Amino acid sequence: MGSRVPLILAALAIVLSFLTPTAAKAQCEQSATFTGSSGQLLQDIGKERSSNLGLAVMPAFSCPAFDDWTVWGDVWNRFDASGLRLNETDLEGSITKSWGPVSLELYAAYFDLPPQPFRQGVVELYAGIGYSFDFGWIKVKPAIRPIHMIGVGGLADLTLLRARTKVEVPNFMHPAVTLALEPSVTYNFTRQPGLPEVAFRPEIALHYDFSDQVRLSLAGKAANRHKIIEGGMTIKF
């Protein structure tokens, strides 16, 4: 692993350790998400990682912390359906806070890329700033996200800027159904052969709340000309 990776992960662990005593006293929410997809995209850089069917599982937690901040983390594993081969593991963590309609998210992650665990991958850091509009029947949240990716094991660094608008329509034709749209574009400041300067990465999804604990989802995602379909189920504990 590159020398920068343990330093970044250690910094994230230290931040979370300061938040944990406060968060432990509050009620945390745990969940598990299971998805099946027709492929895998690297949406921010407009590329396709895998064209094979795949299965993924993601345990996650969200805890209130000090001064109305929220701590969130997950571990995401995707298995290629051809032989159920593990082709990526993501370790993600963030802290978020809202001031009325304004929100801030500070995020750090390590995307591990087999077949060399913790020897080849990407460290991603970003700060996301958003503003929410709630019109009752529709919720709109534009946001910007400066992103820096640090390559490990020979992969190059990247600096990106993502702009997106998240649109949610609750009670879409049924009280338990939510329509979600997310037009999004990422600009790549780091010119590299084989990578597009601009990546268009729109998403559309239907969510069905089967109960307070179970949500079913069907989504379509794109990264420039690459497209996938994804179905999933999230269970809260």
Q: What is the pLDDT of residues 215-235, one digit of tens each?
A: 999 999 999 999 999 999 999
The candidate with the shortest Cα–Cα distance to 104, out of 130, 66, 65, 140, is 130
C-beta atoms surrounding 132 within 10 Å? 15
pTM of the predicted protein model: 0.86
Which residues, in sequence order, are CB contacts of 100 under 8 Å at separation 6+? none
**Is residue 208 classed as helix, strand or coil in its secondary structure?**
strand
**By C-alpha distance, which of 88, 81, 78, 29 is closest to 58?**
78
Domain ranges of the chain: 4-236
Q: Does residue 101 register a pLDDT over 90?
A: yes
The string of pLDDT tens digits covering residues 39-55 is: 999 999 999 999 999 99
Confidence of residue 191 (pLDDT cuts 50, 70, 90): confident
Range in 20-34, 71-85, 162-176 with the lowest mean pLDDT:
20-34
Q: What is the structure's pLDDT at 3?
A: 47
Q: What is the largest CA-CA distance in the chain?
A: 52
Query: What is the 3-class SS of 9-52, one letter each residue?
Result: HHHHHHHHHHHHHHHHHCCCEEEEEEEEECCEEEHHHCEEEECC
Residue 96 neighbours by CB under 8 Å, 6+ apart: 69, 70, 72, 103, 104, 105, 106
Assign domain 4-236 to a CATH class. mainly beta
* Average pLDDT for 50-63: 94
